[in-house]
Amino acid sequence: MKFKLDENLPVELVTDLRGSGHDADTVGGEGLRGAADPTVVDAASGRGAVIAFVRERLHTVLDMDLSDRLTVVGPSRIRFR
């Protein structure tokens, strides 16, 4: 699964995801720090990546079918587009 972490998430999450065999990068690592949300969404969507989530919900997200949709995971809800 591919993940793009927004700049407000801990960088350590990239290590967690990669350690679980996932493709993960950060908004900052792609040179998009401070970019508008639509730009970040386009970058994630272009890679087929999940754009953001909360570390405590990692296991819930990994058990879901996230293919062919944009998924944003927050502390109290998960949104799909």
Statement: residue 5 has pLDDT above 80: yes
The candidate with the shortest Cα–Cα distance to 7, out of 42, 32, 44, 39, is 32
Provide the mean pLDDT of the chain: 77
**Structural domain of 25:** 2-80
Q: What does the alpha-carbon distance between residue 50 and residue 67 come to, in Å, rounded to a whole number?
A: 9
pLDDT of 56: 62
Query: How many domains is the chain partitioned into structurally?
Result: 1
Q: What does the alpha-carbon distance between residue 17 and residue 79 come to, in Å, rounded to a whole number?
A: 20
pLDDT tens-place string over residues 48-67? 776 665 556 666 766 777 67
Q: How large is the average pLDDT for residues 12-39?
A: 85
pLDDT of 17: 85
DSSP assignment of 3-51 equals EEE-TTS-THHHHHHHHTT-EEEETGGGT-TT--HHHHHHHHHHHT-B-
pLDDT of 28: 86
